[in-house]
């Protein structure tokens, strides 16, 4: 069924979990179903973060999303599954949110990327995120729908960093992750 303890976690493996619905069970036994909450990134982020922690034996921590029993840190990032969103961009965000948009370091990194200064942009992005994590959990939960399984892959930080987009160190290619990096698949549930 599911891994028991961190020693069973395999990196570069796609884990799959079948989900049918998100329901609140009320005191009288009735259920309220909220499919929109699974599709909405603001609502589903915490739900899927907790679910994956529970399935693979991680715990909540500060500074990163999760940690294992050896103290290694895990950051979770979402992408839109190509099966549900075939026309979505191939690249998706894996760096800290502080390096995007108008957030803290976003304007500086945006300018460096625009000016073709990859090394300088990477230095900031690395200091604000990559250097703080040991692993990344990439999930297909962007715009998620239970018509497909939840899929997630655990990557070592070095594998993620070595496969970042060559123009913007905040991004990685779904094709690269799913076709070249993922080595096997395990159906958990």
Tens of pLDDT along 51-88? 999 999 999 999 899 999 999 999 999 999 999 999 99
Sign of CA dihedral 117, 103, 52, 20: negative
Strand partners, 135: 74, 156
Domain membership flag for residue 25: yes
How far is it, in rounded angstroms, from Cα 189 to Cα 183? 19
pLDDT for the residue 56: 92
Domain membership flag for residue 140: yes
Domain span at 104: 6-187
How far is it, in rounded angstroms, from Cα 1 to Cα 155? 21
pLDDT for the residue 102: 86
Structural domain count of the chain: 1
Q: What is the mean pLDDT of residues 108-123?
A: 98
pLDDT for the residue 18: 96
How far is it, in rounded angstroms, from Cα 128 to Cα 189? 35
Q: Residue 9: which pLDDT band, with cuts at 50, 70 and 90?
A: confident
Domain membership flag for residue 55: yes
Query: pLDDT above 70 covers what percent of the chain?
Result: 96
pLDDT for the residue 4: 46
Residue 182 has what DSSP assignment? -
The mean of the pLDDT values for the chain is 93
Q: Residue 101: which pLDDT band, with cuts at 50, 70 and 90?
A: confident
pLDDT for the residue 8: 58
Whichever domain contains 10, its CATH number is: 3.40.210
Output the pTM of the full model: 0.92
Other C-beta atoms closer than 10 Å to the C-beta of 133 total: 22
């Amino acid at each position: 069924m599911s891994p028991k303890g961190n020693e069973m976690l395999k990196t570069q493996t796609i884990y799959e979990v079948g989900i049918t619905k998100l329901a609140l069970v009320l005191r009288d036994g009735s259920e309220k179903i909220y499919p929109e909450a699974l599709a909405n990134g603001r609502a589903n982020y915490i739900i899927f973060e907790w679910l994956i922690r529970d399935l693979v034996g991680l715990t909540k921590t500060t500074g990163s999303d999760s940690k294992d029993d050896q103290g290694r840190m895990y950051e979770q990032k979402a992408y839109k599954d190509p099966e549900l969103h075939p026309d979505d961009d191939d690249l998706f965000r894996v760096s800290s949110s502080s390096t995007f948009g108008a957030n803290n370091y976003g304007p500086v990194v945006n300018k460096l990327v625009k000016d073709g200064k990859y090394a300088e942009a990477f230095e900031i992005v690395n200091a604000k995120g990559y250097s703080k994590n040991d692993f990344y959990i990439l999930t297909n939960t962007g715009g998620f729908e239970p018509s497909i399984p939840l899929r997630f892959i655990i990557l070592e930080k070095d594998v993620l960093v070595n496969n970042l987009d060559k123009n913007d160190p905040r991004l990685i290619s779904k094709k690269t992750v799913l076709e070249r990096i993922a080595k096997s698949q395990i159906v958990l549930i």
